Chains A and B, each alone.
Chain A
Amino acid sequence: MSLHLKNISLVLGGEILIAPLWLDIAAGEAVTLMGKSGSGKSSLLSYIAGDLASPFSGAGEIILSGKMLNNIPPQNRNIGRLFQDDLLFPHMTVGENLLFAIPRGVRSERENMMQTALVRAELEGFADRAPHTLSGGQRSRVSLMRSLLAKPQAMLLDEPFNKLDRELRGTIRDYTFTHLKARNVSTLLVTHDISDAPDGGRIFEITKSGEIKHV
Chain B
Amino acid sequence: MISQRQSWIPAFAGMTDWGVIGAIPICVLFALPLITSLFYALIGAFDVTAWQALFAHPQLWSGLELSIFTGAIAAVLAQITAIIIVAATYESAGWGNLPATMGAMLALPHLALAIGLSFLIMPSGVLARIISNIAGWQTPPNWITTHDPYGLALIAALTIKEAPFLIWIMAGLLDRDDIKQDFKNQRAAATSLGHGSVSIWLRLYLPQLMPKLIWPLVIVFIYAATVVDMSLVIGPTQPPTLATVIWADINSEQVTNNARGNVGAVFLSIALGVCLLLAYAILKSVSSFCRQFLSSGPNPQSQSNFVGRANYRILVWLYIAVTALLLFMSFAQLWPFPHLIPTTSTRAWGLILQSPNALITSVGLAIATSITALALIILWFENLPQKSDQLLVLLSLAILGLPAILVGLGLYRAFLNFGLTGNLTGLFLAHLMPVTAYMIIVLVGPYRALDPRYADIAASFAKTKFEFLNQIKLPLLKAPILAALGVGFAVSFGQYISAQLIAAGRYSTLPIEAVTLTSGTNRPLTAAFALLLLLPPLLAYVIAAYFGKSRWSKG
Contacts and interface: CB of A to CB of B under 8 A. Distances in A.
B295 A95 contact: yes
Contact of A83 (B185, B193, B208, B291): B185
Contacts of B294: 91-92, 96, 100
Interface stretch (A23-31, A58-66, A71-79, A185-193): A71-79
Nearest to A76: B300
Contacts of A73: 196, 300, 302
A150 B186 contact: no
Contact of B194 (A76, A89, A110): A76
Using C-beta atoms within 8 Å of the partner chain, give the interface range for chain B.
20 to 34
B192 A80 contact: yes
A101 B208 contact: no
Interface string B283-319: 0000000011011111110100000000000000000
Given A90-B208, A96-B291, A103 B298 contact: yes
Given A80-B192, A147-B193, A89 B204 contact: yes
A83 B189 contact: yes
A104 B299 contact: yes
Given A83-B185, A89-B186, A103 B300 contact: no
A85 interface: yes
Given A99-B297, A100-B203, A146 B193 contact: yes
B279 interface: no
A156 B203 CA distance: 24
Contact of B191 (A51, A102, A105, A147): A51
Interface in A41-68: 46, 49-51
B207 interface: yes
A104 B300 contact: no
A81 interface: yes
Nearest to A84: B185
Contacts of B196: 73, 75
Contacts of B129: none
B188 interface: yes
Contacts of A105: 297
A150 B193 contact: yes
Contacts of A74: 191-192
A3 B120 CA distance: 61
A136 B286 CA distance: 33
A51 B188 contact: yes
- Name which of B187, B188, B189, B297 has the most chain A CB atoms within 10 A of its CB: B189
Interface string A135-168: 0000000000011001010001000000000000
Contacts of A85: 185
A147 B192 CA distance: 8
Nearest to B208: A91
A85 B191 CA distance: 16
B297 A102 contact: yes
A139 B204 CA distance: 18
Contacts of A51: 187-188, 191
Using C-beta atoms within 8 Å of the partner chain, give the interface range for chain A.
35 or more
A12 interface: no
Given A83-B188, A102-B297, A103-B297, A150 B204 contact: no
B195 interface: yes
A75 B291 contact: no
Given A75-B196, A89-B186, A91-B207, A101 B191 contact: no
A91 B191 CA distance: 17
Interface string A164-198: 00000000000000000000000000000000000
A77 to B, nearest CB: 8
A110 B298 CA distance: 12
A76 B193 CA distance: 9
A134 interface: no
B248 to A, nearest CB: 47
Interface string A96-117: 1001111111010010000000
Given A87-B185, A90-B208, A81 B192 contact: yes
A87 B191 contact: no
Contacts of B195: 75, 100
Nearest to B295: A99
A95 B295 CA distance: 9
Contacts of A96: 291, 294-295
Contacts of A102: 297
Contacts of B187: 51
Given A73-B196, A100-B203, A81 B295 contact: no
Contacts of B204: 89, 91
A83 B187 CA distance: 12
B300 A75 contact: yes
Contact of B297 (A78, A87, A100, A152): A100
A137 B196 CA distance: 29
Interface in B149-196: 185-196
19 contacts: A46-B188, A49-B188, A51-B188, A76-B194, A83-B189, A85-B185, A87-B185, A87-B186, A89-B204, A92-B295, A100-B193, A100-B294, A100-B297, A100-B298, A101-B194, A104-B298, A104-B299, A150-B193, A156-B192
Interface of B: 185-196, 203-204, 207-208, 291-292, 294-300, 302
Top 8 nearest A-B pairs by Cβ distance?
Answer: A99-B295, A81-B192, A104-B297, A96-B295, A87-B189, A101-B193, A75-B300, A150-B193
Given A83-B188, A110-B297, 8 more contacts: A46-B188, A75-B195, A78-B194, A83-B189, A87-B186, A100-B297, A104-B298, A150-B194
